[in-house]
Chains A and B, each alone.
Chain A
Amino acid sequence: MVSLSASLSQKRNYPISEEKVALRPRWRGRIVLTKDPDGGERCVGCYLCAAACPVDCIALQATEDENGRRYPEFFRINFSRCIFCGYCEEACPTYAIQLTPDFEMAEYRRQDLVYEKEDLLIDSQGKYPGYNFYKMAGLSAGVKEKGKGENEEAPVDIKSLLP
């Protein structure tokens, strides 16, 4: 431990360790956006992470592709503000946003701590493999048809009076 008196009384250099610190998967470091099992962007642009963020450092704009699949047109995290609380991950209903055990993010310029979607998106499902929101959701957005989801009946035939 380096206390004030110790630092005044003697000079010592501590070498930077070449060994990476072993961090647990749940360690809350650099934030990423993951992909679903089919390789599609997981984020559906619901804005919940942005709303949950206590320092308001997430901003995005949702948009839709021709199938009605919603995704972020842009997704920005200002890491110079982020406090790595993990609330965004907690809030995310699709497992898209995840915190990773990587803290080596130092930059010389603060502006370089602003990450856009290209900087955040990784080609992996991260900690939660197997989940595809659009298979669970009711609406059809080019991933599954109405009634073809995991827990869905075939669409109602409204012309039929049978029970």
Chain B
Amino acid sequence: MPRIYIDNVPFEVKAGRNLLEACLSLGIDLPYFCWHPAMGSIGACRQCAVKVFKDAEDTKGRIMMSCMESVKDDLRISVCDPGAKAFRAQVIEWLMTNHPHDCPVCDEGGSCHLQDVTVMTGHDYRRYQFKKRTYTNQYLGPLINHEMNRCIQCYRCVRFYRDYAGGKDLNVFSAHNHVYFGREKDGVLQSPFSGNLAEVCPTGVFTDKTLKEHYTRKWDLTNAPAICQHCSLGCNVIAGERYGQLRSIVNRYNSEVNGYFLCDKGRFGYEFVNSENRITQTLIRHRTAEAVDEPTLMSHLPNILIGHTVIGIGSPRASIENNYALMELAGRECFYQGLPDNQVFLEQKIVDILSAGAIHTPSLKEIEQADAVLILGEDIWNTAPVMALAVRQSVMKTAAAHVQEQVPLPGWHDAALKELAQESKGFLANMSVLSSPLDEIAACQAHGAPDDMARLGFQIAHLLNNTLPAVDNASAALLQDAHLISQQLLLARHPVIIAGTSAGSEALIRAAYDIAASLQSSERQAALAFVLPECNSMGLAMTGASSFEKALAIVQQNPDVTAVILENDLYRNMPADLVDSFFSKCRQVVVLDTLHNRTTEKADVLIPVATFAEGDGTFINNEGRAQRSYQVFMSPDKVLKEAFKWLFEMKVIRSAISNGHDVHPDEMLAGLERAYPQFKGIAAVVPPHEFRIHGARIPRESQRYSGRTAMQANKAVSEPKPLQDDDSPLSFTMEGYRGMPPAPLIPYFWAPGWNSGQAVNKYQQETGGALKGGDPGIRLFRDTGAQPAWFQDIPDAFTPRQGKWFLLPQYQLFGSGELSIYTKGIAALSAAPRAILSTRDAATLNMATGAAHYTVR
């Protein structure tokens, strides 16, 4: 470790870092704009100046940009040097000559990186007497607002949008002091990662338009660490509430999972919590007054729960606590997944593979660090967007790593590495049913029927491991692709294979496994990632429960079944006729859900439950990482509690045994772990609910939370007692421990002098590294080093059958989500329902593109 002297104090720092990273990692406040831990340095903003001295005798030193200098042993620098300080203050003063007088009406205010740095450098009064430059704005769609006057030309936006995320429609235009960051003309930003601009841009040029609809400053939000609900990756988010409404989602850094970025579905798809369509009343149907209060419901429940067969239908979008509570209520044998046979079968295969532990399943960070990626049949652009972003980083970083082998350049030197790497890329092979923007960076791509992609996979596996069978009757194209891909995978040291369930093909999963297992060797660490559909698909699959069809068979035999359905719109997952017949056979149907849907219409008893924002829950992501999502706020409507609390009360009714107190998520997880060894370790996912620091809770509100003696004064002038949280160490108030909380309990990132999200530097062990105390989440699958068990049966090539259609779902980032569609902007950007035919099929049917109606029987 090199030793450097900062203002004459020696520090041990990590080699290969630049001085800015070294200073920030040591906790020294040094202002910066253009450097970003995920994107490296370009030295554009000149804000991070320090003095660098030749040796101990040198007293003059020279000003250098700390983000552009590597740490070196015995290097002497000064952050506090008056010259360096004056330089930094001057840079801000120059930037401010054109900065608008907007803070009061700027959505960035209070979480503004530019405000932080301005205060930090000491600039206060504008001495410049002349006029300010102005720009006109652009319409960028329903999700992102543009206010170009506020730009400080740091180039972070285009570096993120274009270089990091591969977007094309945002760019920098014009020249000299007129540079403009926007689109060629007004229009919706095309990248599904555009929302990150709101966090990447250090100013209020790009801001969250959905937040603007109910604008709240960062300091006024009640926040909690939560887990994104919109796909199986389980990105960590901070959810913020005010006045009983969920108001914003921002990224919650987790170095293993989402790092610094979210996709737009995750960031903006939160409005379902505030939807008019929420279930808010307990209902007992077929009565004159259907809406009933809790005691009435409780006195009614014994009639349907006692003396009848109770079956439970679980949910891939409900937390593991909720699913487990239902398993406890119905009994292990009477708990079903509420998913079709095929889906359960696919997910079971994945769980079997991962729990055998022969092949490592990678975190998103490990995917970023892969040096070759093969995607076999999964459209991750739409089903796991942040994974697509990670794959893109792997492609770019591998190219940069190749350059670094020839020219010794540090990894943070972004501009130089890009210049040298030019168009060269790491290896990516993208196989999916339809093309996606990932194809642009793929060295090899093929699109076709799932079975054909699986055959390609098996052929690759055969080339890698000749004990595995070759594919019969393989086409020349298949053989050629397989040859190319296998060669490239063999060159890699950390290849990653990605597959998933969205193509509905088990052969793809088997082929992906065979490839990964064949690649595994002493010098090559292969990894195998699977994508599942929902935020807790993995958790539900790990229960090993059987499918909906099995539940249907039960109700067809037994006329006396009370079905308890947990957060699952069966009509979304199964054909309507099967579901109809299920309901017609059930004696009583109890549905617990958050939003009205076709399934809730069938409920005899409907119970409203908390969403992720109103309740605690643990979700298991695609890599088997259990992560806790904490309740953000208490609904003014008391009835909205987590499903597991209702189910626990129902269990008490059934078994007539009570432990005399409410149940905590901790107890649920402990019980889960005891009853189901596959979940071993999950109870340690977060500190226990009675965890305190110096006797204090961790406040969900900032110390500048405003209005608490006035917010509800219109209803009653005496303030209500602060809400209590018995389930977690977090409090619903601004009182509590103000130091650094343990990583799973970070409700928001803030540090003295850093009101903006850049405060995250203070929470990390080193810039861009793990959070202090380790990133949150517990991985439930362990690598066992077991010998792989090979799969062999290779499917036949796909051949169309006369008069039959082969239907495949096409997932859409905006539109396929059950919950995200409740956000107006996302609904507006969702494509209309449509069917896509191959040109050949369309020609035989005499159809043209855009044909509006065709009846399918």
Contact A153 B132 (CB under 8 A): yes
What 1/0 flags go to B195-229 for Cβ under 8 Å of A?
Answer: 00000000000000000101111011000000000
User: Interface size on A (CB < 8 Å)?
Assistant: 52
CA A116 to CA B175, docked complex, whole Å: 50
Flag if B105 contacts A158 (CB, 8 Å).
no
Q: Contacts A51-B219, A114-B714: A56 and B707 contacting too (C-beta < 8 A)?
A: yes
- Rounded to whole angstroms, the CA-CA distance of A155 and B151 in the bound complex is 14
Given A46-B104, A46-B105, A47-B220, A138 and B132 touching (CB < 8 A)? yes
Contacts of A136 in B (CB 8 A): 101
- A55–B149 CB distance below 8 A: no
Contact pick for B709, options A81, A94, A111, A141, CB 8 Å: A81
Question: B176 — which chain A residues lie within 8 A by C-beta?
Answer: 163
Say yes or no for B87: interface residue by CB 8 A criterion: no
Q: Mark interface residues in B118-152 (1 if CB within 8 Å of A CB, else 0).
A: 00000000000001111111000000000101100
List chain A residues, Cβ under 8 A from B105: 44, 46, 70, 137, 139, 141
Best-buried of B173, B175, B711 by chain A (most CB within 10 Å): B711
Residues of A within 8 A of B704 (CB): 51
Cross-chain contact A146 with B135 (CB below 8 angstroms): yes
Q: Is the CB of B101 within 8 A of A57?
A: no
Please name all residues of chain B whose beta carbon is closer than 8 Å to the beta carbon of A47 when the two chains form the complex. 110, 216-217, 220, 706
Given the known interface contacts A45-B215, A51-B217, A152-B132, the answer about A58 and B104 at a Cβ–Cβ threshold of 8 Å is no
A111, B174: Cβ atoms closer than 8 Å: no
Flag if B717 contacts A62 (CB, 8 Å): no
Which residue of A is nearest B212, CB measured?
Answer: A64
Q: Does B102 contact A (CB under 8 A)?
A: yes
Stretch in A18-26, A27-35, A72-80 touching the partner:
A72-80
**Is the pair B219, A156 in contact by a Cβ cutoff of 8 Å?**
no
**B848 in contact (CB, < 8 A):** no
Supposing A62-B215, A77-B710 touch, asked if A44 and B180 sit within 8 A by C-beta, the answer is: no
Which residues on the B side are within 8 Å of A78 (C-beta)?
709-710, 713, 717
| B109 contact set on A, CB distance < 8 A | 46
Docked-complex contact B174 and A133, CB < 8 angstroms: no
| Cβ A56 vs Cβ B180 within 8 A | no
Q: In the complex, which residue of chain B has the Cβ closest to the Cβ of A141? A: B105
Nearest Cβ in chain B — how far from A38, in angstroms?
17
Contact call A61/B243, Cβ cutoff below 8 A: yes
Which chain A residues numbered 92 to 134 have a C-beta less than 8 Å away from chain B? Answer: 93-94, 110-111, 113-114, 116, 133
B578 close to chain A: CB less than 8 A: no
Inter-chain CA distance A157–B220, complex, in Å, is 39
Say yes or no: A58-B706 contact (C-beta < 8 A), given A47-B220, A156-B174, A161-B175: yes
The reply to whether B104 and A48 form a contact with Cβ atoms under 8 Å apart is yes
Interface status of A40 (Cβ within 8 A of chain B): no
Task: Establish whether residues A138 and B134, one from each chain, have CB atoms under 8 Å apart when the complex forms.
Answer: yes
B836 to chain A, nearest CB (A): 38
Contacts of B220 in A (CB 8 A): 47, 50-51
Interface status of B708 (Cβ within 8 A of chain A): yes
Measured CB to CB, the closest approach of chain B to A50, in angstroms, equals 4
Which B692-743 residues have a C-beta within 8 angstroms of A? 704-711, 713-714, 716-718
B753 within 8 Å of A (CB atoms): no
Q: Chain B, interface size: which category?
A: 35 or more
A146 and B136: CB pair below 8 A? yes
Closest to B718 in A: A110
Q: Which residues of A contact B708 (CB under 8 A)?
A: 56
User: Considering the chains assembled together, what is the distance between the CA atoms of A163 and B177 in angstroms?
Assistant: 8
Judge whether B134 and A152 touch: CB under 8 Å. yes
Cross-chain pair count, CB within 8 angstroms: 138
Which of B99, B219, B717 contacts A110 (CB under 8 A)? B717
Using CB atoms, name the residue of chain A closest to B204. Answer: A139
Q: Which residues of B contact A141 (CB under 8 A)?
A: 105
Bound Cα distance A76, B268 (Å): 30
Question: Whole-angstrom distance between the alpha carbons of A64 and B105 in the complex?
Answer: 10
Q: Let me know if B135 and A56 touch, CB within 8 A.
A: no
Expressed in whole angstroms, the Cα–Cα distance for A154 and B149 within the complex equals 12
Contacts of B150 in A (CB 8 A): 138
Q: Give the most central of B100, B105, B106, B178: most A CB within 10 Å.
A: B105
Contact of A156 among B99, B178, B707 (CB under 8 A): B178
Q: Are B131 and A153 touching (Cβ within 8 A)?
A: yes
A151 at the interface (CB under 8 A from B): yes
Contact status B217-A114, CB under 8 Å: no
Complex Cα spacing A141 to B99, Å: 17
User: How far, in whole Å, are A139 and B710 apart by their CA atoms in the complex?
Assistant: 30
> In the complex, are the beta carbons of B710 and A156 less than 8 A apart?
no
Establish whether residues A80 and B717, one from each chain, have CB atoms under 8 Å apart when the complex forms: yes
Residues of the B chain whose Cβ atoms lie less than 8 Å from the Cβ of A157? 178
Verify B136–A81 contact, CB threshold 8 A: no
A94–B104 Cα gap in the complex (Å)? 8
Q: How far is the CB of B13 from chain A (nearest CB, A)?
A: 38
Q: Smallest Cβ distance from A82 to chain B, in angstroms?
A: 9
Complex Cα gap A62–B106 (Å)? 12
Quote the shortest CB–CB distance from A133 to chain B (angstroms): 7
Instruction: Give A151 to B215 CA distance when docked, in angstroms.
Output: 28
A114-B133 contact, Cβ under 8 Å, with A46-B105, A51-B706: no
Q: Residues of A contacting B102 with CB < 8 Å?
A: 137-139
Which B residues lie within 8 Å of A61 (CB)?
214, 243
Residues of B near A156 (CB, < 8 A) are 133-135, 174, 178, 180
CB distance from A128 to the nearest CB of B (A): 15
Provide the residues of chain A in CB contact with B110, threshold 8 Å: 47, 51
Contact (Cβ within 8 A) A59 B101: no
Q: Are A56 and B709 in contact (CB under 8 A)?
A: yes
Instruction: Please tell me if B420 contacts chain A, counting CB pairs below 8 Å.
Output: no
Which B residues contact A (CB, under 8 angstroms)?
99-106, 109-110, 131-137, 147, 149-150, 173-176, 178, 180, 212, 214-217, 219-220, 243, 704-711, 713-714, 716-718
In the A-B complex, the 10 residue pairs with the smallest Cβ-Cβ separation, listed nearest first, are A138-B100, A59-B707, A46-B104, A50-B706, A59-B710, A138-B149, A158-B174, A78-B713, A78-B710, A158-B180
| 5 A-B contacts (beta carbon < 8 Å) | A47-B217, A61-B243, A149-B132, A152-B134, A156-B134
Beyond A46-B103, A57-B713, 6 extra complex contacts between A and B, CB < 8 Å: A47-B706, A70-B105, A76-B714, A146-B149, A149-B132, A158-B174
On A, residues with C-beta under 8 Å from B are 44-48, 50-51, 53, 55-64, 70, 76-78, 80-81, 93-94, 110-111, 113-114, 116, 133, 136-139, 141, 146-147, 149, 151-161, 163
